[in-house]
Amino acid sequence: MANRYQELARRFFENRLLFGNPAEAGIVAVEVASPGEIEIFRRGSAGLTRERRPIRLFLLLDNLAHLKGFKGEVEIRELEGDFRFRHLVTLASGATLDALKRHLRYTTGKTPNAPDAPYLVLADPVEQHLMLTGTTCFMGLELSDLVRLQLDIETYITPGFEFPSAAREGDRVIAISITDSTGFERLLSGKEMDERSILEEMVRIIAERDPDVIEGHNLFRFDFEYLEARARRHKVNLALGRDGSALRARPSRLQIAERSIAYRRYDIHGRSIIDTWILAQHYDIASRELEGFGLKQLAQHFGIARPDRVYIDPSRVSEYFDRDPDKLFAYALDDARETRGVAEILSPSYFVQAKIFPYSFQNVVLRGNATRIDALMMRAYLAAGHSIPAPQDPAPVAGGYTEMRRCGVARGVLHCDVTSLYPSLMLQYRHAPKSDRLGVFLRLLEDLRSFRVQAKSLARELQGAERRNLEALQQTFKILINSFYGYLGFSLGHFNDFEVANAVTGRGRDLIQRAVAELEKLGAQVIEVDTDGIYFVPPQAVWDDASAEAFIDRLGAVMPEGIRLEIDGRYRAMFSYKMKNYVLLDEAGEMTVRGSGLKSRGLERFQRRFMEDIFRLLMEDRGGDLEKLRDDYRARLERHEIGIAELMKTETLQDSLDNYRSKVSGKRRNLSAAYELALKSERRYQSGDQISYYVTGYGSRVKVAEAARLASEYDPAKPDENVPYYIAKLDELYEKFRVFAKRPGLFIAEPEAEESAPPEQRQLLLE
């Protein structure tokens, strides 16, 4: 078995199209060492070694006339083909590149970021060097080969204030917990050292431990920013770089699906920074299963919180420092340990991607999926000496086929999945960008899919480190495979193709509709269809493994060649509420809630708990107990037995406070409780921050923006939550779902049914 693993890994990592060329082993970091040199950091049997090489920088031009009058030393190569960027200009110095960019801005009147700029230059010189040389990080290494250091800080808040502020003289760092992947642990105590000494000792330890990676939770948006400000106050040089250089920072913004996150990006020479808060954001886009992004929530969600883990109220850190510092320090060390655990779960896929893309480990996490595919395409074309096209102008792309056929509760449900629908269609029908004259797009996609199938199959037969490595590989392949279709419609992609993207979705819609029609013909009840999967109740005789597989084989017979169907799940019951909002109950009794309408973070936690209890009663055929459940929740609210953690609402600030003020004054948005509380606080909030609050006052119709209070201000000894307000929320949910108790089983969810439906059912269908 081990031989099969080694053979698969060898064949995979020998793929030069994916991993570049020459695939040097052991590289953990690449940095600019001087205007004309790159420094390579390599980890191997001799430990960490360093090597300097001439830097390879480049810029692409559409016309050599733009170089007229430029005095710097450059090499020019005409690339094959007739795409717009057909002249490769290579340079041996960052200073020369900067001079050339200034020259081109002047002669063309276009900045490098302008969509119609007649030249193309990558902003990061390290990325330029990696792309032009084919170099990538971590070849020949496993994640366990890296030295990974975890960092967590605790801060003191001056009495009379609620939130920490690095600018406040009385606030300070009172503890720094440091752990690493070798088992090293150290707690820097504010009882034993003053703040200046703590900062200096942290710098010394990091230099001594010499990690390849520094991990932390919310490093970018709190820890490093706080450390930077306090170090400036004490004139401490945060010389965390492997060359003795200081921590570097710049404002940045990260787009993760619909979320735009403002943050202060930090860089350390020779080391990657991995922020587990950002890893969790990426994870949740795919899973939509996290209740929050706090470290403790993540540790509990992933089952890595130790039974003896120390918990304290974060708002009482200063109090613990004054009265029970040992408990605070134990808590801080547990934070660092849990950070390591979360990183070990969420970072392996990015570790593998750093072997593929011309990016550092840190940049792989911070770049979007489509941007990564574009880098692969450009690297392959430059390696082949071929010109690069300009991106197509954006055009609309139609979505996949989705439909909800039936509402209500179904029993004995199967989920049929079209394996990697869009990638399969692209490969089967050779859907590739018209500009991909070298055939790189489909070769990459085919290789990734082939290796994923093999890795996924072999992983089931292995245990231990080899299984974990294969799981990381196949998960990486899955992410990348599913990114190829999105790349077609990526407005900045140099090989994008909106016409082909529409062709793929068109075929996908036709294929799924064909599968639905065949299922109905075979006697199945289709519940919901979502792009590449179908939930349905099969004919009564179909349930065990053999009969289910035989049934899917019959369905697969009407599918085009190369398109595979498989049973992706079987469920004891399913509650279908509305499109893309449903609940699954598996054979072991575990419940999975899908859809923003049923698990929105805009709902208070007690509402989500109440809904989950309703769903279980409905799917266990105990709908008659819904009223009793509602009355029990009401009574607990009236007795103040539901804690503030269940009642509070947590909202993310999407806008800056200044933008919020401007929109409110211009009557372009309503008042928001979260923003109003942020404005009243002395804490410096920014977009992406979260605020938790609850509602006070009396009555269900209070103005929330006026009656809201920060959850941290709640006093359980003097409860002041607005009980009628929360009971009204409870009653609203009860009314929304009791129709399903009155009408058990499935019913048709067709638009024309709305007019003839009874009022409560019509309201359900219209929501």
State the DSSP string of 668-710: SS---HHHHHHHHSSS---TT-EEEEEE-SSSTT--HHHHEEE
Averaged over successive runs of 10 residues, the pLDDT of the chain (767 residues) comes to 76 89 94 97 94 97 96 96 98 96 96 95 97 96 96 92 83 97 98 98 98 97 95 97 97 81 93 96 80 90 94 92 97 98 94 95 95 96 98 93 93 88 93 98 93 84 80 82 94 97 95 92 93 88 80 86 85 94 93 86 89 96 95 97 93 85 92 92 71 93 94 92 97 94 83 41 38
Would you state the pLDDT for residue 616? 96
What domains lie within the chain, and their CATH numbers?
A: 2-136+357-383 (3.30.342), 143-348 (3.30.420.10), 391-432+497-590 (3.90.1600.10), 600-766 (1.10.132.60)
Structure tokens given for 354: 């750093």
Tell me if 508 sits within 8 A of 422, measured CB to CB. yes
Neighbours of 77 (CB within 10 A): 11
Residue 376 to residue 689: CA distance in whole angstroms: 34
Residue 613 to residue 593: CA distance in whole angstroms: 12
Would you state the pLDDT for residue 760? 42
Would you state the pLDDT for residue 712? 84
Of the candidates 336, 295, 276, 328, which has an alpha carbon nearest to the alpha carbon of residue 151?
336
One-letter amino acid of 357? F
Q: Kindly tell me the sign of the dihedral angle through the C-alpha atoms of 156, 162, 165, 170.
A: negative
Would you state the pLDDT for residue 673? 94
Would you state the pLDDT for residue 200? 98
Q: How many helices (H) and strands (E) does the chain have?
A: 28, 25
Would you state the pLDDT for residue 471? 80
Tell me if 496 sits within 8 A of 487, measured CB to CB. yes
What's the pTM value of the predicted model, to 2 decimals?
Answer: 0.86
DSSP state of 147: -
